[in-house]
Amino acid sequence: MSGADTVPVVEGRAIVQDYHVPGSFFARSSSVRALKGIDFRVEKGKTLAIVGESGSGKSTLARIIALIDAPTGGDLLIDGQAVDIRRRRPVPALRSKVQMVFQNPYGSLNPRQKVGDVLMEPLVINTDVPAAERRERAEAMLSKVGLQPEHFNRYPHMFSGGQRQRIAIARALMLNPSLLVLDEPVSALDLSVQAQVLNLLADLQDEFELTYVFVSHDLSVVRYIADEVMVISKGEAVEQGTREEVFANPRHPYTQSLFAATPVTDVEAIRARVERRRAARALQPA
């Protein structure tokens, strides 16, 4: 079947989000339209990157896709089924399909919980999996994201920023989701660690056939990871297309100015350097 015939993992139709602004002694209450009728669709195993400056509405859209916030208007569909969390809370099966990874890994992890408990918590809340199997799955997931089973009993503050983001990714994968919403997941990391985490995300996507919605302001990161790109300005999708189309020939003036104003970081070169170092360490005698 062609892409137009397949059911997308996630689809948005005319998504609108309004926020109420309380009045004061000097001004009446009002509303602000943060999203102005956005359409998108993401096929299985693909990555849609949402790009825009701070305040453009990209994180607002991410929270709607992740079923955290309800849109004011429009339709959100997961696997072809309409989802309206304004009227009904997501059932556990639906909640399991969609998970989110936030920008600040330390802020999203409970500092008083051991890593093992952090990973097992989604299973405790959403499943009837026995304790022994929960631990087994958590230790296996630690290995999947490049950590060790002995990290199970450590606390988040004992890890580096890159390791904490790996833990956050591992937690998001514990319920075997089909869709990950990643809101600036590498922006708080230094460049070499960014490349490692992006490489991990690419490997996990291939292994688990994951679909990503990837929010970023970093065009170098987007160029590395995205299949489709949507550029948002002031709550509107001003440009949308494949990575090659958008980067080779940006049509909208906002996209052109965004590209011109953004410093270029060669993530591919950083990734290649990391791989060379890894290969060199592997060749060293024990």
Span 42-95, pLDDT tens digits: 999 999 999 999 899 999 999 999 999 999 999 999 999 999 998 888 787 888
What CATH number is associated with residue 95? 3.40.50.300
In a domain, 5, yes or no: no
Measured CA to CA in angstroms, residue 140 lies from 22, 136, 150, 164 at distances of 48, 6, 11, 17
In a domain, 142, yes or no: yes
State how many domains the chain has.
1
CA distance 229 to 206: 19
* SS3 at position 244: helix
Cβ-based neighbours of 14, under 8 Å, separated by 6 or more: 37, 38, 39, 73, 74, 75
First and final C-alpha spacing in the chain? 52
Q: How does pLDDT run across 86-136, given as a tens digit for each residue?
A: 888 878 788 899 999 998 877 778 889 999 999 999 999 888 999 999 999
- The reported pTM is 0.86
Helix residue ranges, H only, the chain: 58-65, 92-97, 115-126, 131-144, 161-173, 191-208, 219-225, 243-248, 253-261, 267-283
In a domain, 2, yes or no: no
CA distance 166 to 144: 9
CA distance 252 to 10: 25
Q: How does pLDDT run across 198-216, given as a tens digit for each residue?
A: 999 999 999 999 999 999 9
In a domain, 220, yes or no: yes
Q: How does pLDDT run across 217-275, given as a tens digit for each residue?
A: 888 899 999 999 999 999 999 999 999 999 999 999 999 998 887 655 555 655 565 56
DSSP at 233: E
Rounded to the nearest angstrom, the gap between the alpha carbon of residue 156 and the centroid of all alpha carbons in its chain is: 20
CA distance 9 to 286: 46
In a domain, 150, yes or no: yes
In a domain, 1, yes or no: no
In a domain, 180, yes or no: yes
Cβ-based neighbours of 86, under 8 Å, separated by 6 or more: 70
In a domain, 3, yes or no: no
Q: What residue numbers bound the domain in which 29 lies?
A: 10-283
Cβ-based neighbours of 30, under 8 Å, separated by 6 or more: 20, 21, 23
